[in-house]
A and B are shown apart, each in its own frame.
Chain A
Amino acid sequence: MNTYKFGIILLICCFLIYTHFTGDIYLDLWAEEEAFHARTFPYLIGIAGLAISVLLFILPGNTEHLTDIRQLKFSPALLLLGMTAGYGLLLDYLGFIVASFLFLILGFIILGERRIWRMGVSALLLVAGLWFLLDALEIHLSPGLLLQEIL
């Protein structure tokens, strides 16, 4: 089975799960008698999505113009995505300035930048610039739990 068909099977699964969970939406006793309630629209979408994804699976798809995944550079892309998630997890703890500075520096390094001064100055200017801009707009970002503990 090729990647394309595998992707469509995943989408079929998504719509199956979605339609299944539609049945779990809570309804009041009287709501069940109504012609349109909180489950109606999701049911319609779920069924339409299932029908179309099954059609896509059955019909021969044109896969010639799809990107050859063997030529893709997965490691830096996945590292950047992981770093984004990590930024979300550590932002409250490290605070805006430290987390953002580290995020940018690591991003530059992952993509192959090696000039330390250039990386440091760019990251610092970007983070400090945004910090001061937000501060001027009366938007105060948390310094982070770590800094609060140290101080």
Chain B
Amino acid sequence: MLDGLLLGFQTILSVQNLLLVLSGCAVGTIIGMLPGLGPISAIALMIPITYGFEPASGMILLAGVYYGAIFGGSTSSILINAPGVAGTVATSFDGYPLASSGQPGKALAIAAYASFAGGTIAAVLLVLTAPYLAKLSLGFQSADYFVLMLLGLCLVSAFSKRGEYLKALLMTCFGLALSTVGTDLTSGVQRFTLGRMDLIDGISFLLLAMGTFAMAEAILMVLRGDNDKFQGVTRGSMKLDRQEVKTLSPVVGRSSLLGFFVGILPGAGATIASFLAYGMEKYFTRDGPQFGTGNIKGLAAPETANNAACTGSFVPLLTLGIPGSGTTAILLGALIAYGIQPSPRLFVDQPGIFWAVIASMYIGNLFLLALNLPLIPYIARILAIPRTMLIPGILFFSIMGVYLVSFNTFDILMLSMIAFTAVCLRLLSFPMAPMLLGFILGGILEDNLRRAITLADGQWSFLWDRPSTVILIILTLLVLISPVIQRYISK
């Protein structure tokens, strides 16, 4: 393990990679601060830039963008009560009252320190647990993988908002259906290409990500007439006294653990982790009733947990090749685009990438702290750009992101169609993350199902042949019926 970590640090401690972590954190922070644009959009915008890099360098940059965007989302949450990312909604509950009571500097400083502590503790936990999880998962066969992916897809739906479970499942099917467009690589047969050459290679995941997130988000802002202009912010005092540090230390420890383990669960992610941490502190500490009025514990808990969850979500991605959230699904897509097949073998076959990403988390958290403490007031000025100028800019960069990969104008037409569909679906409250997850996992899911059926001589008995598969099937069924049970209990 120590050798691996040293290898990781050796990779990352080059001037190029250090600059990539730094730029990833800076870009992620800026994009994360823009309300409506979260880590998914930030990573999607950055992927075309990373195509020229080595896979390890590309992943280091994208990982930096990821935790930078989560942290950036907290800034707009705290300062203007406009969470840029769903994972920072809970941060605004106490962060915004604290900032509006004349202590914006303190609120930002607590967020920065809590994010740093959460990210660093979770990175240590990742180093300790990931190799064991990877070894455990090496015994997995195609049948286990198929069911495990089904479990991941069902978990994402089960953890969706209340009342959106069936919608999330339907969106997963929609994503899976889109993944079948193009040439079936095993048989060489074209499927749903409508006779168009442009669709032979299928739909690009970047096109889908840009259309459903960055572009759809910009169009939704216009639809809702959300043309507020933000005012510049001042820093104020950023110092914490000894008593405050003493009060926050146990909160940070508890929330880091909770955030990391929630982050590991496919489908849970930073949003659920931050709400759980906030709820845990609110209900289990003495000053719970003061939460919501600018309590520093109420700010530190969700902020620590969301960063710890981001790091935790890398565990299923790096050890099992299964993304735990929409954001890690995009990272999975990026890995595939670099020509790397994420699987439990990644840890063994590509130790350079595996450990470099982990090492980048330590360095990235340090950079985030160094960047954000002094620069927050200046970076936040981007919020003052009027939406009339910002939205066409977002659209332009979305189009360029797609066009520069294929140089095919048909992709731009597809982008506008996908964005239109995504806007309609989002207005009807259909979640987009399960669709993207379904789309990315579709190909791997079909491959594993095909292999499992072939190995079982065309029988579906592979589903109950091995104890591990049976356990996973039971878990999947439990997850599938869990919303029904929850509803029954709450009645």
In the complex, residue of chain B having the shortest beta-carbon distance to the beta carbon of A64? B163
A41 to B391, CA, bound (A): 39
- Knowing A72-B223, A111-B387 are in contact, say whether A31-B187 is a contact too (CB < 8 A): yes
Q: A35-B453, A65-B429 are in contact. Are A88 and B412 (CB under 8 A)?
A: yes
Q: Identify the A interface with B (CB < 8 A).
A: 3-4, 7, 11, 14-15, 18, 21, 25-28, 31, 34-38, 40-42, 45-46, 48-49, 52-53, 55-56, 59, 61-62, 65-67, 69, 71-74, 76-77, 80-82, 84-85, 87-89, 91-92, 100, 103-104, 107-108, 110-113, 118-119, 122, 126, 130, 134, 137, 139
Q: Is A103 within 8 A of B389, CB to CB?
A: no
In the complex, A66 Cα to B223 Cα: how many Å?
14
Closest to B167 in A: A56
Q: Does B289 contact A (CB under 8 A)?
A: no
Q: Which of A7, A55, A108 contacts B166 (CB 8 A)?
A: A55
Interface centre among B173, B399, B458 (most CB of A within 10 A): B173
Residues of the A chain whose Cβ atoms lie less than 8 Å from the Cβ of B227: 111-112
Question: What is the CB-to-nearest-CB distance from A118 to chain B, in angstroms, rounded to a whole number?
Answer: 8
User: In the complex, A55→B169 CA distance in Å?
Assistant: 11
Instruction: Compute how far the CA of A71 lies from the CA of B429 in the bound complex, rounded to whole angstroms.
Output: 16
B140 at the interface (CB under 8 A from A): no
B222 and A104 contacting across the interface, CB-CB below 8 Å? no
Are B389 and A91 interface neighbours, CB within 8 A?
Answer: no
A108–B389 CB distance below 8 A: yes
Q: Which residues of B contact A65 (CB under 8 A)?
A: 429
Contact code string B375-416 (vs A, CB < 8 Å = 1, else 0): 000000000001111011101100110011000011111011
Chain A contacts of B389 at CB under 8 A?
108, 113, 118-119, 122
Q: Is A76 touching B222 in the complex (CB atoms < 8 A)?
A: yes
Q: How large is the interface on B (under 10, 10 to 19, 20 to 34, 35 or more residues)?
A: 35 or more
**Given the known A-B contacts A4-B428, A81-B416, A126-B396, are A38 and B169 also in contact in the complex, defined by CB atoms under 8 Å?**
no
Query: Chain A interface secondary structure, helix, strand, loop or mixed?
Result: helix
Total A-B contacts with CB atoms under 8 angstroms apart: 168
* A88 and B410 contacting across the interface, CB-CB below 8 Å: yes
Q: Which residue of A lies closest to B169 (CB)?
A: A52
Asked if B192 is at the interface of the complex by the 8 Å CB criterion, the answer is yes
Residue B184 CB within 8 A of the other chain? yes
B476 to chain A, nearest CB (A): 13
- Can you spell out 21 A-B residue pairs with CB atoms less than 8 angstroms apart? A14-B174, A18-B177, A42-B180, A45-B177, A52-B170, A55-B166, A59-B166, A61-B163, A65-B429, A67-B224, A71-B224, A71-B225, A77-B219, A80-B392, A81-B416, A81-B419, A84-B419, A88-B410, A89-B413, A112-B388, A113-B389
Q: Is the CB of B409 within 8 A of A49?
A: no
Q: How distant is the Cα of A35 from the Cα of B400 in the complex, in angstroms?
A: 43
Q: What is the CB-to-nearest-CB distance from A60 to chain B, in angstroms, rounded to a whole number?
A: 10
Known contacts A7-B424, A34-B458, A35-B458; can you find 6 more A-B pairs with CB under 8 A? Answer: A38-B187, A77-B223, A80-B219, A88-B415, A107-B391, A108-B389
List B residues 155-212 near A (Cβ within 8 Å).
163, 166-167, 169-170, 173-174, 176-177, 180, 184, 186-187, 189-192
Specify which chain B residues have a CB less than 8 angstroms from the CB of A14 in the assembled complex. Answer: 174
B→A interface (CB under 8 Å): 52, 163, 166-167, 169-170, 173-174, 176-177, 180, 184, 186-187, 189-192, 215, 218-219, 222-225, 227, 386-389, 391-393, 395-396, 399-400, 403-404, 409-413, 415-417, 419-420, 423-425, 427-429, 445-446, 449-450, 453-454, 457-459
B16 to chain A, nearest CB (A): 15
Q: Which residues of A contact B446 (CB under 8 A)?
A: 41
- The contact of A139 among B173, B219, B404, B450, by CB within 8 Å, is B404
Is A74 a contact of B420 with CB atoms below 8 Å?
no
From A21, A26, A100, A134, give the contact of B396 (CB < 8 A).
A100
Does the CB pair B191–A108 fall under 8 Å? no
- Give Cα A35 to B456, complex, Å: 10
Beta-carbon contact of B393 and A35 below 8 Å = no
Contacts of A82 in B (CB 8 A): 416
**B395 A48 Cβ-Cβ under 8 A:** no
Least CB distance from A79 to B in Å reads: 9
In the complex, what distance in Å separates the CA atom of A28 from the CA atom of B188?
Answer: 11
Q: What B residues does A45 contact at CB under 8 A?
A: 173, 176-177, 180
CA distance A45 to B176 in the complex (A): 7
* CB atoms of B416 and A84 under 8 A apart: yes
B386 close to A113 (CB less than 8 A): yes
Q: Is the CB of A89 within 8 A of B409?
A: yes
Assuming the contacts A66-B428, A67-B224, A73-B222, asked whether A85 and B416 have C-beta atoms less than 8 A apart, the reply is yes
Q: What are the residues of chain B within 8 A of A25 when measuring CB–CB?
A: 189-192
Q: How far is the CB of B75 from chain A (nearest CB, A)?
A: 24
Residue of A nearest to B174 (CB): A49
Residue of B166, B388, B453 near A56 (CB, 8 A) is B166
Q: B176, A107: Cβ atoms under 8 Å?
A: no
A130 surroundings in chain B (CB, below 8 A): 400
Residues of B within 8 Å of A72, CB to CB, are: 223-225, 427
